[in-house]
């Protein structure tokens, strides 16, 4: 992989990580505040609506975004055609929710308030579809700083709105207003900061061609989203809203970490790997580095949450949410393998193995569904245990074809990840021993966090982990780059005082060059993420 592409990939990973993790961290802090102001039942209602809106959103996208990112010669006719299709489908689905699904689901879950909540929140489908092509273009060009701006603007405004409404005791409507405001602000900011606009052109021929390429990816997305929410659907129906809220909160903490890192890797690696889709050896190197680095970051966090679960729930959410601690531990084990599965899926997509991707997804879901049905006879805790077993089987099924595609099988992965696993287990054992200290749990929790971080860094250095060295190298490069920029600006300032006329002439030339070099849809400063 060339140096330019490698640097651009790392820069994109950093910006995408800042966008996703930073935004989710802010949302996480706000959710802690709201969790202390609202009741578990309020979160249960929102959890139900989120499930079905997530499934509906798959129909809006229909796999076209992935195909447009992978298509090297996508033009305005492609983008405009997909834009109008997405907008049309989102309007149809909103009407379906308003007149049919909202009353039906309210009756199914015996929750009258669900009707009006779902009717209001379904507006998100239309609002999100409006910016779908702008997000696709930004992802295709690896310009994630623009997404960072829109996401953070949305989070800041929506957080204030949600807290204010919760303060005035409006219950579930604080969460509704927060989600609507977040989507609305993001839509407005992106409209004014990304130049692309749909043209009055549409081609059924292009739509049919894109659909023929993307229907397998659409089917996979639909299966994945439906299955990922299946446990919540079943729990919401079999138990009450409060139980569903405990389950959802148990997922939230590890989900915050893994979903964002996982999403960052997926969003960046897909366009990067697409540029090397015909070189299996390069794809193998990318996958190997990605797996080792992602697990090096994620696994110690999961281990820390497992050994500190009770204290984390008490400290962040309060005693009324303590039932979430068990589900927190189970979800940590479950999420530990999800990034590996996602990277394998990305490989299948990049290499155009839609049929293989569909077959492996069906196999994983059949195994998982069998486990879920069996666990229903034994109770909620066994459903959580089954989720962990499901992730292990899914990892095995997803990894088996990699041996044939890029000569990187299960044994190779286990060998590469064993040092990370041993380091995490040793760190977890040291942190767990601190839980026997007899003092205030908050003091112990902070001591465990500090000790865990320090111990993990020391062990990484002693074991000479390659991922640790890789991260240190890029931190050093980043510091050198910042130092170089500061020094360059300082030199420019001195030059400006002594050669003012020359600088003015140079500025005029630079501006002309920038104008001529602008990209079709973006501002010039976005063209190079390393700028």
Name the residue range of residue 50's domain.
38-238
Token representation of residue 119? 């009717």
Q: How many CA atoms lie within 13 A of 226 on its CB side?
A: 14
With 60 as the cut, is the pLDDT of residue 49 above it?
A: yes
Asked whether residue 227 falls in the same domain as residue 271, the answer is no
Q: Are residues 105 and 164 in the same domain?
A: yes
Residue 458 and residue 316 share a domain: yes
Residue 438 lies in a domain: yes
Tell whether the torsion through CA atoms of 111, 113, 117 and 118 is positive or negative: positive
Average pLDDT in the chain: 82
pLDDT band at 525; cut points 50, 70, 90: very low
On whether residue 66 sits in a domain, the answer given is yes
Residue 518, pLDDT above cutoff 90: no
- Residue-wise pLDDT for 209-245, tens only, equals 888 877 877 887 888 888 888 888 888 888 887 888 8
180 and 327 inside one domain:
no
- Summarize pLDDT for 63-83 with one digit per residue, the tens: 787 778 777 788 889 889 989
**What is the model's pLDDT at position 486?**
65
Average pLDDT of the segment spanning 7-23: 59
Of 327 and 130, the structure prediction assigns the larger pLDDT to 327
Instruction: Judge if 116 and 175 occupy the same domain.
Output: yes
Q: Which residue has the higher pLDDT, 349 or 297?
A: 297
Q: Is the pLDDT of residue 526 over 80?
A: no
Q: Please check whether residue 140 is in contact with residue 79, taking contact to mean a CB–CB distance below 8 angstroms.
A: no
Residues 187 and 278 in one domain: no
First CA to last CA distance, the chain: 20
Does a structural domain hold residue 483?
Answer: no
Q: How many folded domains does the chain comprise?
A: 3
Domain's final residue, options 411, 444, 464 = 464
Residue 331 lies in a domain: yes
Domain boundary among 464, 490, 520: 464
| 113 and 230 assigned to the same domain | yes
Same domain for 234 and 280? Answer: no
Domain annotation covers residue 131: yes
Residue 478 within a domain: no
Q: Answer whether residue 471 is part of any domain.
A: no
Last residue of a domain, one of 220, 238, 256: 238
- Residue % of the chain over a pLDDT of 90: 34
The pLDDT score that the predictor gives to residue 268 is: 64
pLDDT tens figures, 236-287: 888 887 888 899 889 988 987 887 777 666 666 666 676 666 778 888 888 8
Judge if 195 and 291 occupy the same domain. Answer: no
Same domain, yes or no: 423 and 325 = yes
Tell me how far apart the alpha carbons of residues 12 and 264 are, in angstroms, rounded to a whole number: 9
CA angle 403, 226, 211 (to 5 degrees): 70
Classify residue 369: in a domain, yes or no.
Answer: yes
| Whole-number pLDDT of residue 325 | 93
Same domain, 192 and 328: no
Q: Does 48 share its domain with 176?
A: yes
pLDDT at 497: 53
């Amino acid at each position: 992989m060339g140096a330019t592409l490698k640097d651009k990939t790392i820069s994109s990973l950093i910006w995408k990580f800042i966008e996703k993790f930073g935004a989710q961290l802010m949302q996480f802090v706000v959710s802690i505040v709201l969790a202390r102001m609202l009741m578990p039942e309020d979160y249960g209602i929102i959890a139900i609506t989120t499930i079905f809106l997530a499934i509906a959103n798959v129909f809006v996208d229909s796999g076209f975004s992935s195909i447009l990112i992978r298509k090297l010669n996508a033009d305005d006719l492609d983008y405009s055609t997909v834009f109008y299709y997405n907008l049309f489908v989102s309007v149809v689905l909103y009407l379906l929710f308003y007149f049919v699904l909202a009353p039906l689901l309210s009756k199914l879950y015996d929750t009258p308030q669900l009707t009006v909540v779902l009717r209001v929140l379904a507006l998100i489908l239309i609002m999100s579809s409006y910016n779908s092509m702008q997000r696709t273009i930004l992802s295709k060009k690896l310009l994630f700083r623009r997404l960072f701006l829109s996401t953070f603007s949305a989070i800041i405004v929506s957080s204030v709105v949600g807290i204010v409404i919760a303060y005035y005791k409006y219950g579930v409507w604080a969460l509704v207003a927060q989600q609507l405001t977040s989507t609305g602000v993001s839509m407005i900011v992106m409209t004014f900061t990304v130049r692309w606009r749909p043209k009055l052109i549409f081609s059924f021929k292009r739509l049919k061609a894109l659909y023929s390429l993307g229907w397998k990816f659409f089917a996979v997305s639909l299966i994945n989203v439906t299955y990922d929410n299946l446990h919540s659907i079943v729990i919401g129906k079999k138990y009450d809203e409060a139980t569903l809220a405990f389950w959802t909160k148990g997922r939230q903490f590890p989900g915050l970490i893994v979903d964002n890192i996982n999403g960052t890797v997926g969003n960046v690696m897909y366009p990067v790997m697409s540029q090397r889709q015909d070189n299996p050896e390069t794809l193998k190197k990318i996958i190997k580095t990605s797996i080792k680095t992602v697990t090096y970051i994620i696994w110690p966090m999961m281990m820390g949450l497992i050994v500190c679960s009770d204290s984390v729930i008490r400290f962040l959410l309060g005693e009324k949410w303590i039932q979430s601690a068990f589900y927190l531990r189970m979800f940590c084990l479950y999420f530990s393998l999800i990034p590996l599965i996602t990277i394998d899926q990305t490989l299948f997509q990049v290499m155009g193995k839609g049929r293989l991707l569909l077959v492996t997804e069906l196999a994983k879901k059949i195994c998982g569904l069998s486990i879920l049905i069996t666990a229903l006879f034994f109770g909620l805790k066994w459903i959580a245990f089954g989720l962990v077993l499901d992730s292990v089987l899914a990892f095995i099924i997803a990894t088996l074809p990699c041996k044939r595609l890029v000569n990187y099988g299960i044994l190779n992965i286990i060998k590469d990840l064993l040092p990370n696993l041993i380091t995490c287990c040793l760190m977890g054992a040291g942190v767990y021993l601190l839980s026997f200290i007899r003092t205030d749990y908050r003091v112990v929790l902070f001591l465990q966090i500090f000790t865990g971080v320090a111990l993990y860094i020391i062990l990484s250095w002693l074991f000479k982990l390659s991922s640790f060295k890789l991260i240190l190298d890029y931190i050093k490069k980043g510091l050198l780059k910042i130092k170089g920029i500061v020094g360059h600006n300082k030199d420019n300032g001195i030059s400006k005082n002594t050669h003012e006329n020359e600088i003015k002439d140079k500025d005029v030339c630079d501006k002309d060059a920038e104008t001529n070099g602008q990209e079709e849809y973006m501002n010039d400063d976005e063209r190079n993420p390393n700028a």
